Amino acid sequence: MSNNIQEVAGKNIRLYRQAKGLTQEKLAELVNVSSSYIGYLERGLRTPSLDLLARIGTALDVEPKVLLYTASDDIDPTLKKLNALLTGKNPKSINFVYEVAMAYFVSTSDSA
């Protein structure tokens, strides 16, 4: 697990940006910085100001504190992506995905 807050923020910005389907260029446009600066942030080479972190959170539909959260390295990467994908979605959509997952796991329980 990374202890460097710049790396943690960078990985989370990339994760949520990709889950939102945004390019670095589009995110940069939304938060009024250069796309190269977004790249620096995502690689952990720069530290965003609190103001920029708030703007990025708004653009990605997440609380800024989520971008500073360090998840345990033993969590499956696909589960992290799924969580990022569902973050900011309405409860009805999240429940639909949950119901589909439950139906899938019930239907495959004999082969698991």
**Is residue 85 a part of any domain in this protein?**
yes
What per-residue confidence (pLDDT) applies to 2?
43
Tokens 């938060």 sit at which residue? 31
Q: What number of residues does the chain have?
A: 112
Domain that holds residue 74: 5-107
Q: The domain that contains 17 carries what CATH number? A: 1.10.260.40
- Looking at residue 1, what is its pLDDT? 43
Per-residue pLDDT of the chain (112 residues), as tens digits, is 445 889 999 999 999 999 899 999 999 999 999 999 999 999 999 999 999 999 999 999 999 998 998 876 667 778 888 888 888 788 898 889 888 888 888 887 755 4
Token pair belonging to 34: 């250069």
Do the domain assignments include residue 112?
no
Residue 73 in any domain: the answer is: yes
Q: Do residues 48 and 56 make contact, with C-beta atoms less than 8 angstroms apart?
A: yes
pTM of the model: 0.73
- Evaluate whether residue 86 is within a structural domain: yes
Tell me, yes or no, whether 77 lies in a domain: yes
Residue 55 placed within a domain: yes
Contact between 35 and 28 under an 8 Å Cβ cutoff? The reply is yes
- Work out how many domains the chain is built from and give that number: 1
pLDDT at 47: 92
Residue 82 near residue 14 (C-beta atoms within 8 A): no
Instruction: Specify the pLDDT at position 89.
Output: 83
